[in-house]
Structure 1
Amino acid sequence: MKRLIKTIFIAASLFISACTPTQKTDEAVNHTIRIGTEQFTASLDSALEWNGWFTVRYGIGETLFKVEDDMQIKPWLVSNAENIDTKTWKLTLRENIKFSDGTTMDAKSVVDNLHHIAQENARAAFLQGAEYEIDGYTITIKTIEPRSTLLSDLSDPMFAILNLASKEDKATMPIGTGPYKVKTFTADQEIVLEPNTNYWDGTPKLNEITVTKMLEKETAILALKNHELDAYTEMNPEGIKQLQDSDEFDIHTIPSSRVYSLYMNTQTLTDISLRKAIAKAIDKEAIAKYLLDGTMTATDGPFTNDSEYALPSSNVTSYNEAEAKQILESAGYVDTDGDGYVEKDGQNISLTIAYYKRLSQEAIATELQSALKKIGIQSELQLHEGTKYLLNKEYDLGFYSMVTMPTGDPAYYLNALLSEGGTVNYSGYDNHAMQVLLKQLNDSYDTKERKEIVKQIEEMLLASYSITYIGFNNLIFATRKELKNFVPHVTDYYQITVDLELQS
């Protein structure tokens, strides 16, 4: 998914001293909240990289289309969409929408955003060269290539519509159409939000919202118990156990499409037999049930098990330690010196397992090292601050977590993962037949045909053992019972909405 921003440590003493307890006065109870979160951003400029996730999460920006709970796409800043032909769409904007500075959002401001985003973000390259016609509040978009997924694409948070004419710095003070606007922003640390009095779709109910980065879950749990936090967005099993029986808190859990994936560097792990053995050595069900206490749902593929795009049950990457050992032996990986680890052609095999601290990746990485030892593969854990090790190919096995259906359509992820120059093609996957299938998928407007193409792509991908999927992270929020409508969404980026409120 996505670029994860450089993390910093916020000591418990600093956080607690900075907090104003939310239970001190009636005004605080009714109008202000504090939210703790593990993931934060250095910039709110939604057009760049993955920053838009935060601009939308914080209720600052909105997109032309929105992903519903059932992964269907619905209009948001538009009122209607019409497909003219394979390259042409006609969008009708909602009228009377204003940016938070009072400026009207019109068709020209939207087109300016689309031009800008196409130039600034590689994931929006499909809009480069597109032609736009404006007629009042109607925009006709004609793309260079057929784009059956355009409406889904435009629900990506990078397409949050901002007032580009504003003199405010988009990185720290973006002017959007959402229910809240930025009051103060400290990169990688904290944001304070206040109501957008020009909001078009209801009245924001809170006077102030503070979102603070908190890496230490123990600190977050303590802050919740001490009434110094109203919500925390990345609960772990230990924290859940502490809060779930309390009458002060609600625990909100939903399965997400954020998958723990293990990239295999095909430039260093050139032997597919070795990659296959590694995949077979991972007991995903045990990780989900015992290691992570049900906070992960095991998977063999990139799409959730209840998705219409999920592959039927298969043995492609199912756990089988004995088979993993047999694969290694048949491929010439044997322990000749009796040290418990295999060699190939007299050379020791030692792999690097690279990961960054995000959700349960550290625990899974440690379990992977143990699993590899059981089949005779020596490995070393390497903790990184971010994900540049993937881009720079500084790994043998590299962990990454990403939402695979952020816009409700599988083409988004599959293109990013498998196309030549794809934004998350970190394994170095290169296959001409795959490029042909991707083009067929991108060009097709037939639902049944698209499902069949996706199935072929998944089967080809898994057979390459360039990546293996561990499981889907379950999104788990803890909130004080007084806080209403702050719940996780399957996409992982709709959080602060106009419905958020405190009730006594």
Structure 2
Amino acid sequence: MNHVSRDIFRRTIRGLALAAALAMPSVALAQSADVLRIANPVAVTSLDSFGAQSADQPTISVMQQVLEPLVIRKDGQLQPLLAASWENPDELTWRFHLNEGITFADGSPLTSADVKASLQRLIDGKGPLSGLWGAVEAIETPDDLTVDIKTNTRLGTVLSNLSMLGIAPAAALEDPNFFNAPFGTGPYRVAEFTPSQFVALERNPEYRGEPAPTARLEYRYIPEVSGRITALENNEIDVTWGLPPDQVAQVRDSQSLTVESFPTFGNYYMWYNSSREPFTDVRVRQAMWHAIDMEEIKTFLFDGTAEVAKGPIPQDIFGAAEQTPYAYDPEKARQLLAEAGYPNGFTTTMMWSSMCCTNIREFAETLISYWAAVGIQVTPQELERATWLENLLALNWDSTLAEGNTITGDADFTLARLYLSTANRMGYANPELDELLLAARAEIDQDKRAELYAEAGKIIWDDAVGIFPLDMMMHAVYRNEVTGFVPTPTGMPRFDTVSKQ
């Protein structure tokens, strides 16, 4: 197949994919002001937010408008939602008092039994968020509006962890078909769901607050960015997000579209496998950082879509602290390499997932060219996601480039989950860091927790456990008639405040 034929073939396939995504029989091309048409950039494969998809952003994006948590993070602070208040009767107990009069979409009242069942299902599901609750010893319900979470060690992360736990009705959780059309106490309930293709939400008639301004939300999966942009311009969808930098400038020039760009809890990171030479030597790890001009990379690859990072997690996250930057200094890089016994550099590899993130290949190739300039020859390894993940967990790699998201807005989610020696995610082990992270996790006083995470972040940064190059921005695009969109730092937009003129 020649070059021209391949281009025609690709355009044809993209066109068919877009047509299929927009051709759901019961809702095709609906343009009513009561319907918000959303194109999600990643397929929603499941609505079960308690098991394997508990940290899956597509699932959370939908379910955060259906299942509500006890507490919510808003403007950087944890605030009550389904809970009215909480206290610590002792260091191993968190007691929550629920608001009275809250009902689920089926009319049944919210009780402590629902909270217990929801948390227990998350723990038993052994998904990616279950580890946050490893210290839970018992969940008790002294009465219908009181829940006690008892732990075997002090656990200061309970509030931030609860912000990720949507509460479902206990009786419904026993139904194996519940997550085909789940409902909760939120402003919407699920009306239709076709895995990997389509989700429709409709207003929850039992919602206690003001009804959402839009009666129905429809999520369609359109994988190609160009397909989503075309659908927006043709008034076939109303909103999408997750645009790469090269598309943002193009969309900004459109007379019919609005672009919202905002910081998120997401960042790029490049880990070294510190259990493999030469990365056992901190001087080698630091040298590779000094060899990179991050400001130049931001300007040419991520202009307007990222900021040079100031720590291992973005600064808006609870527990983040600004660190001393690594200056671009090739001579210092060569000096550190020579001190470590590599005056002529060395050869190594770096892997990443082909489905990872914005400009991942161009970013990797740019890093590799900087390292080559100081004598480090890096062989690129772009892998299918499943293969990349298998190698990552088996520590079968020299270095890896990826994107992370501290979705709870709390440093513990990233720092303790990934950098404790027992996690063994990148072959790095540091007893001093372990002590800080465990103390921070156990500390109930939130100000003290923040101080401990700041110290932990400094160790991770100064020891160059990885390179933390960029904090990412999110780009949402919507038609001009859409109003009320509110940016979310998690990078998972909500639409319960959005309407169409």
The residue aligned with 1:346 is none
The residue aligned with 1:28 is 31
Closer, same or farther: CA 282–39 of 1 in aligned 2, 3 Å: farther
CA contact (8 A) 2:283 2:337 kept: yes
Task: Spell out, residue by residue over 1:423-474, the C-alpha distance to the aligned partner (whole angstroms, 9 max, x if none).
Answer: xx52122222222112221232344533332232112212332222111111
The residue aligned with 1:400 is 402
When structure 1 is superposed on structure 2, of 373-382 and 303-312 the one drifting more is 303-312
User: Where do 1:408-487 residues align within 5 Å?
Assistant: 408-422=409-423, 426-487=425-486
SS at match of 2:255: coil
Q: Is residue 60 of structure 1 aligned with residue 66 of structure 2?
A: yes
User: Where do 1:316-465 residues align within 5 Å?
Assistant: 317-335=326-344, 342-343=345-346, 349-357=347-355, 358-386=357-385, 388=389, 389-404=391-406, 406-422=407-423, 426-465=425-464
CA contact (8 A) 1:16 1:223 kept: no
User: Identical aligned pairs, as a percentage?
Assistant: 27
Separation in structure 1 between the aligned mates of residue 480 and residue 290 of structure 2, nearest angstrom: 44
Task: Spell out, residue by residue over 1:222-245, the C-alpha distance to the aligned partner (whole angstroms, 9 max, x if none).
Answer: 111111121111122232222223
TM-score (norm 1): 0.86
The residue aligned with 1:113 is 118
| CA displacement at 1:254 relative to structure 2 | 1.2
The residue aligned with 1:314 is 324
Separation in structure 2 between the aligned mates of residue 295 and residue 99 of structure 1, nearest angstrom: 39
CA contact (8 A) 2:261 2:475 kept: yes
| CA displacement at 1:31 relative to structure 2 | 1.5
The residue aligned with 2:168 is 162
Separation in structure 1 between the aligned mates of residue 230 and residue 252 of structure 2, nearest angstrom: 14
The residue aligned with 1:141 is 149
User: Where do 1:2-401 residues align within 5 Å?
Assistant: 11-19=14-22, 28-51=31-54, 53-58=57-62, 59-68=65-74, 70-121=75-126, 122-156=130-164, 159-166=165-172, 167-268=175-276, 269-305=279-315, 309-315=319-325, 317-335=326-344, 342-343=345-346, 349-357=347-355, 358-386=357-385, 388=389, 389-401=391-403
SS at match of 2:32: helix
Separation in structure 1 between the aligned mates of residue 493 and residue 82 of structure 2, nearest angstrom: 15
Separation in structure 1 between the aligned mates of residue 181 and residue 13 of structure 2, nearest angstrom: 23
What residue ranges of structure 2 are gaps of 5+ in the alignment? 1-11
| CA displacement at 1:168 relative to structure 2 | 4.7
| CA displacement at 1:295 relative to structure 2 | 0.3
The residue aligned with 1:4 is none
Closer, same or farther: CA 384–162 of 1 in aligned 2, 3 Å: farther
Task: Spell out, residue by residue over 1:33-75, the C-alpha distance to the aligned partner (whole angstroms, 9 max, x if none).
Answer: 221222334222111244354444212222111111x210111
Closer, same or farther: CA 311–82 of 1 in aligned 2, 3 Å: closer
Closer, same or farther: CA 10–257 of 1 in aligned 2, 3 Å: farther
Closer, same or farther: CA 88–25 of 1 in aligned 2, 3 Å: closer
Closer, same or farther: CA 314–181 of 1 in aligned 2, 3 Å: same
Task: Spell out, residue by residue over 1:382-410, the C-alpha distance to the aligned partner (whole angstroms, 9 max, x if none).
Answer: 23333513223232221222223x33432
Which residue identity lines up with residue 268 of structure 2 in the other structure? Y
Separation in structure 2 between the aligned mates of residue 25 and residue 378 of structure 1, nearest angstrom: 52
| CA displacement at 1:483 relative to structure 2 | 1.6
Task: Spell out, residue by residue over 1:106-128, the C-alpha distance to the aligned partner (whole angstroms, 9 max, x if none).
Answer: 11111111122122233233353
CA contact (8 A) 2:72 2:79 kept: yes
Q: CA RMSD in A?
A: 2.7
| CA displacement at 1:25 relative to structure 2 | 12
Closer, same or farther: CA 375–151 of 1 in aligned 2, 3 Å: same
Separation in structure 2 between the aligned mates of residue 274 and residue 12 of structure 1, nearest angstrom: 48
SS at match of 1:205: coil
Which residue identity lines up with residue 331 of structure 1 in the other structure? A
Separation in structure 2 between the aligned mates of residue 321 and residue 170 of structure 1, nearest angstrom: 58
Separation in structure 1 between the aligned mates of residue 163 and residue 202 of structure 2, nearest angstrom: 24
Separation in structure 2 between the aligned mates of residue 312 and residue 204 of structure 1, nearest angstrom: 39
CA contact (8 A) 2:17 2:222 kept: no
When structure 1 is superposed on structure 2, of 303-312 and 122-131 the one drifting more is 303-312
When structure 1 is superposed on structure 2, of 57-66 and 41-50 the one drifting more is 41-50
SS at match of 1:496: coil
Closer, same or farther: CA 213–374 of 1 in aligned 2, 3 Å: farther
What residue ranges of structure 1 are gaps of 5+ in the alignment? 1-8, 336-341, 344-348
When structure 1 is superposed on structure 2, of 250-259 and 430-439 the one drifting more is 430-439
SS at match of 2:429: coil
CA contact (8 A) 2:42 2:58 kept: no
CA contact (8 A) 1:86 1:148 kept: no
CA contact (8 A) 1:10 1:214 kept: no
Counting matched residue pairs gives: 474
CA contact (8 A) 1:31 1:207 kept: yes
Closer, same or farther: CA 101–255 of 1 in aligned 2, 3 Å: same
Which residue identity lines up with residue 410 of structure 1 in the other structure? A
Separation in structure 1 between the aligned mates of residue 28 and residue 51 of structure 2, nearest angstrom: 40
Task: Spell out, residue by residue over 1:283-302, the C-alpha distance to the aligned partner (whole angstroms, 9 max, x if none).
Answer: 22222222111200111412
Closer, same or farther: CA 25–420 of 1 in aligned 2, 3 Å: closer
SS at match of 1:378: strand
SS at match of 2:401: strand
SS at match of 1:442: helix
